[in-house]
């Protein structure tokens, strides 16, 4: 018996289900555009085999292991590295068995959907993962991973990926991207300019990061002008490695548009290393506007991921470091936050700014009205912990009536779990078609138009918004 239902996520009422299926079929196998995510470019550069099932599915994915932690499983039982370098589980089979024994925790979650999809469609498994089947699963997946057909480039091709963007720090040497570019493999894996480490005065090692930025570019990063030029130089290098976008992870949506002298003075303050939290926040906000201005020059699309309270648990951060599943969303004020940036460049039709929110209450109230007015804005898809049917439904229901479809930016998978990519895009395609079927059946959209919209949501809007 298959792990996944061929009609999953479609409406249950027969007429609606038929409509959804009819809309889905022509888009089901369209190429995948993945314009934002966190895959490791090294996979595609070296094309080495993935080490084992635990390191493919559990250890690197904080959305998987945090569910076990939330039910009392110690992080070290799952092989999470310790900040003090102390002992953690190293036997991947033991980690896998613990994961399997707790698999019921994922019932009803998008993680269960994409894991089952990968188990079935990538690895050909057809039994449910559990403590009983843990070893059989491990052996089966491990054997597959040894085959050439399961190396990163082979899977990339099999998944039908037309373009995949990874995300690198502004200080990254982009060596893996160079290796991919210089190889004979035609897969399109591109980078994205993510300068948080040199834009956020509260980032660990900010001062040293700026020194390093100066070394990399030959610019004088002790001056505001030099610092901005260093960004320009790095953006140009990233563009050479295929980048069509920058990305910015900020705690709030605040932007600033200070007079040049004030911006210069603020830079001097944060450069000195003793700024207040307020000054740090203002500086991040100013830099979003500076980045938007650079986008007007070099054409990079500007992505803003705002509103995550990172590393919420002080204990977890002390024991295991950053990005361990304790990023928690907060309320986000997009209307007040983006006003300085939008007043500066929001009417520029040549600019594309894509906001991503974790605060769903802003979809209908703030983001759809903003995107439905400003030419520079295209709404990002529902940034959330998983690729979620309900999340996509709420996004469409809350934004379409105000902003329409054409002020949105298509789908992002935003994943570091490579095997989940086909599953996530499939969820988005099915969820969108389910929504469109509902519109058609209730007289809100003509069926012929719905087919065109389905294609646009799946393929064209992402290509346009990211210039891919």
Specify the residue, 405 or 466, whose C-beta has the smaller distance to a copy of itself.
405
Using CB under 8 A, which residues numbered 100 to 119 contact a copy of itself?
104-110, 112-113
Taken as a whole, the chain contains a residue count of: 468
Phi, psi angles (nearest 5°) of residue 437: -60, -40
Using CB under 8 A, which residues numbered 264 to 323 contact a copy of itself?
309, 312-316
Q: Which stretch binds a copy of itself (CB under 8 A): 82-90, 227-235, 246-254, 444-452?
A: 444-452
In the complex, minimum distance from the CB of residue 425 to a copy of itself, in angstroms, rounded to a whole number: 17
Specify the residue, 149 or 314, whose C-beta has the smaller distance to a copy of itself.
314
Residue 360's nearest CA partner among 389, 332, 388, 401 is 332
In the complex, minimum distance from the CB of residue 109 to a copy of itself, in angstroms, rounded to a whole number: 5
44 binds a copy of itself (CB under 8 A): no
Using CB under 8 A, which residues numbered 49 to 68 contact a copy of itself?
66-67
In the complex, minimum distance from the CB of residue 87 to a copy of itself, in angstroms, rounded to a whole number: 18
Using CB under 8 A, which residues numbered 327 to 356 contact a copy of itself?
327-331, 333, 335-336, 339, 342-343, 346-347, 349
Using CB under 8 A, which residues numbered 351 to 390 contact a copy of itself?
358-361, 364-366, 369-375, 377, 384-386, 388-390
**Residue 82 backbone zone (phi > 0: left; psi -120 to 50: alpha; other: beta):** beta
In the complex, minimum distance from the CB of residue 95 to a copy of itself, in angstroms, rounded to a whole number: 18
- The C-alpha angle 384, 37, 46, rounded to 5 degrees, equals 145
Cβ atoms of 307 and 328 closer than 8 Å: no
Q: What sign has the CA pseudo-torsion 109, 453, 441, 394?
A: positive
Phi, psi angles (nearest 5°) of residue 163: -155, 140
In the complex, minimum distance from the CB of residue 77 to a copy of itself, in angstroms, rounded to a whole number: 12
Containing 245, the helix (H) or strand (E) segment is strand 245-250
In the complex, minimum distance from the CB of residue 365 to a copy of itself, in angstroms, rounded to a whole number: 5
The Cα 395–Cα 403 span in angstroms is: 11
Query: Any residues with CB less than 8 A from the CB of 92 and at least 6 apart, and which?
Result: 51, 52, 53, 54, 55, 79, 138
Interface residue with a copy of itself among 193, 238, 326, 395 (CB under 8 A) is 326
């Amino acid at each position: 018996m298959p792990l996944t239902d061929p009609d999953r996520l479609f409406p249950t009422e027969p007429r609606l289900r038929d409509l959804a299926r009819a809309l889905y079929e022509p888009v089901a196998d369209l190429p995948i555009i993945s314009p934002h995510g966190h895959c490791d470019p090294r996979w595609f550069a070296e094309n080495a085999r993935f080490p084992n099932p635990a390191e493919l599915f559990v250890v690197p994915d904080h959305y998987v292991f945090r569910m076990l932690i939330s039910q009392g499983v110690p992080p070290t039982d799952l092989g999470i590295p310790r900040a003090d370098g102390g002992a953690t589980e190293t036997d991947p089979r033991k980690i896998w068995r613990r994961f399997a024994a707790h698999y019921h925790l994922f019932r009803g979650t998008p993680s269960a959907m994409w894991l089952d999809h990968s188990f079935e469609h990538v690895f050909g498994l057809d039994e449910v993962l559990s403590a009983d089947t843990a070893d059989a699963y491990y052996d089966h997946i491990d054997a597959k991973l040894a085959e050439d057909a399961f190396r990163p480039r082979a899977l990339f091709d099999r998944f039908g990926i037309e373009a995949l963007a990874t995300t690198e720090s502004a200080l990254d040497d982009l060596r893996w991207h160079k290796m991919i570019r210089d190889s004979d493999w035609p897969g399109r894996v591109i980078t994205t300019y993510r300068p948080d480490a040199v834009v956020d005065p509260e980032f660990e090692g900010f001062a040293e990061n700026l020194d390093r930025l100066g070394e990399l570019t030959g610019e004088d990063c002790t001056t505001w002008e030099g610092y901005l030029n260093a960004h320009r130089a790095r953006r140009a290098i990233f563009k050479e490695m295929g980048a069509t976008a920058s990305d910015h992870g900020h705690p709030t949506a605040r932007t600033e548009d200070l007079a040049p002298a004030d911006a210069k003075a603020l830079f001097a303050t944060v450069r000195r290393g003793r700024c207040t939290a307020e000054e740090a926040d203002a500086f991040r906000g100013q830099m979003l506007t500076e980045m938007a201005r650079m986008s007007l020059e070099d054409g990079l699309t500007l992505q803003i991921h705002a509103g995550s309270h990172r590393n919420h648990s002080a204990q977890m951060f002390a024991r295991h470091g950053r990005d361990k599943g304790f990023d928690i969303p907060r309320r986000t004020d997009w209307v007040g936050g983006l006003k300085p940036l939008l007043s500066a460049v929001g009417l520029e039709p040549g600019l594309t700014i894509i906001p991503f929110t974790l605060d769903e209450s802003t979809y209908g109230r703030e983001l759809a009205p903003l995107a439905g007015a400003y030419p520079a804005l295209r709404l990002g898809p529902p940034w959330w912990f998983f690729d979620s049917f309900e999340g996509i439904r709420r996004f469409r229901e809350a934004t379409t009536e105000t902003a329409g479809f054409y002020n949105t930016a298509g789908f992002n998978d935003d994943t570091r779990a490579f095997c989940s990519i086909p599953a996530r895009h499939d969820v988005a395609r099915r969820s969108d078609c389910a929504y469109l079927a509902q519109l058609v059946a209730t007289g809100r959209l003509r069926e012929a138009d719905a087919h065109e919209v389905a294609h646009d949501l799946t393929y064209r809007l992402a290509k346009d918004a990211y210039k891919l």
